[in-house]
Amino acid sequence: MHPLIRLLRPHQWLKNGFVLVGLLFGHVWERSDAPGLFLQALAAFIAFCLISSAVYVINDLIDRERDRHHPDKRHRPLASGRTSARAAIALAAICLTLGFGLVGGLFAGLGLPASRAPWLFVAYVLLNLGYSLGLKHVVILDVFLIAAGFMLRILAGTVGIGIAPSHWLLLCGLMLTLFLGFAKRRAELGALAHDGRHHRRVLDQYTAPMLDQFITLSAAATVIAYSLYTISEETIALHGTPWLIATVPCVAYGLLRYLQRLHLGRGGGDPARDLLTDPHLLAAFSLWLGLVIWLLFR
């Protein structure tokens, strides 16, 4: 992969799928304005891909010296020296320009309308700038900021296109992203052993038993919140089926598989890559998505 393309981290665009969750659980296809909403959601998804890639480039610029101490991140284009800082700055500027152009309706002539809540994208950039410039060194808050980025994605795909977000959707999303964030810190702690402070100072304030408790709490909260969502009267009335509970085993299996890979040192540091490379996680997600689509559309 060309260093500049790798710098954009295209595999991380999978995370922007959170933008599309509102379409699925909001029964958008039943509305008269469904085509317009789908185009708005697509525009928001593409905008988040561009803007999040710009954020990754900026983060790599700021962290390139620290990344050289990381066993995996030292191979990143900026840390390894295969891409210059000038080229990275130009790439980030292009992505931000195109991303906010989409948000502002610059490409409306191509069928991609403006977002109804452009402040969400601005908040995402400001949130990540604050994270990169120092907030990532504040223990626990660092993971909540990661989760907040996912919450902004969900809101961009609901409030941003005129769909009222479900409280259940936001709660499940928050618990899941906290789980992924604490798992990421646990994986980094294990990979960097006693040299973690040279790459990420906040790791000095975490311990393996502490993170294991945080992960257990957030994983349990994710399963409980999602299970309660599937059996709530509001959910059954909205979707017209009581059988969403059949998807709970897929969620539980996926979380347990993720934990198993984490504790064996085979994953946890990059959820997008783990999902794309582990057949168990991919099968659990595919089965969950297939069941959800079948139950909602039938």
Could you please report the per-residue DSSP string of 229-245?
HHH-HHHHHHHT-SGGG
Select from 1.10.357.140, 3.40.190.10, 1.10.150.120, 1.10.3720.10 the CATH code of 1-165.
1.10.357.140
pLDDT for the residue numbered 123: 95
The answer to whether 291 and 247 have CB atoms below 8 angstroms apart is yes
The answer to whether 271 and 16 have CB atoms below 8 angstroms apart is no
Percent of the chain beyond pLDDT 70?
Answer: 97
Task: Give residue-wise pLDDT tens across range 172-209.
Answer: 999 999 999 999 999 988 876 655 455 678 888 999 99
Give the closest residue to 288 by CA, choosing from 26, 25, 83, 37.
25
pLDDT for the residue numbered 195: 55
Mean pLDDT, residues 135-164:
92
Which of 24-33, 105-114, 193-202, 219-228 comes out lowest in average pLDDT?
Answer: 193-202
Q: How confident is the model at residue 251 (pLDDT cuts 50, 70, 90)?
A: very high
110 pLDDT more than 90: no
Angle between helices 119-133 and 85-103 (to 10 degrees): 150
Report CA Rg, the chain: 19
Alpha-carbon gap, residue 117 to 74, rounded angstroms: 37
pLDDT for the residue numbered 33: 81
Task: Give residue-wise pLDDT tens across range 267-288.
Answer: 888 888 899 899 999 999 999 9
Alpha-carbon gap, residue 262 to 193, rounded angstroms: 15
pLDDT for the residue numbered 193: 61
pLDDT for the residue numbered 31: 81
Percent of the chain beyond pLDDT 90?
Answer: 56
Neighbouring C-alpha atoms within 13 Å toward the C-beta of 20: 15
For the chain, the domains span 1-165, 166-298
Alpha-carbon gap, residue 161 to 155, rounded angstroms: 9
The answer to whether 77 and 7 have CB atoms below 8 angstroms apart is yes
Which of 26-40, 170-184, 194-208, 249-263 comes out lowest in average pLDDT?
Answer: 194-208
Write out the DSSP string of 3-43.
HHHHHT-GGGGGGGGGGGHHHHHTTGGGSTTHHHHHHHHHH
- The residue ranking higher by pLDDT, 6 or 283, is 283
Q: Give me the torsion for CA of 14, 16, 17, 20, rounded to 10°.
A: -160
For the record, the structure tokens of 204 come out as: 């000095």
- The residue ranking higher by pLDDT, 285 or 239, is 285
Neighbouring C-alpha atoms within 13 Å toward the C-beta of 215: 23
101 pLDDT more than 60: yes
SS3 215: helix
The answer to whether 12 and 99 have CB atoms below 8 angstroms apart is no
Mean pLDDT, residues 84-92:
91
Q: What is the mean pLDDT of the chain?
A: 89
162 pLDDT more than 70: yes
Q: Cβ-count burial of 245 within 10 angstroms (0-12 exposed, 13-18 middle, 19+ buried)?
A: middle
Q: How confident is the model at residue 76 (pLDDT cuts 50, 70, 90)?
A: confident
pLDDT for the residue numbered 244: 94
Alpha-carbon gap, residue 69 to 86, rounded angstroms: 22
63 pLDDT more than 90: no
Burial 79-97 (b: 16+ CB within 10 A, else e): beeebeeeebeebbeebbe
For the entire predicted model, the pTM comes to 0.89
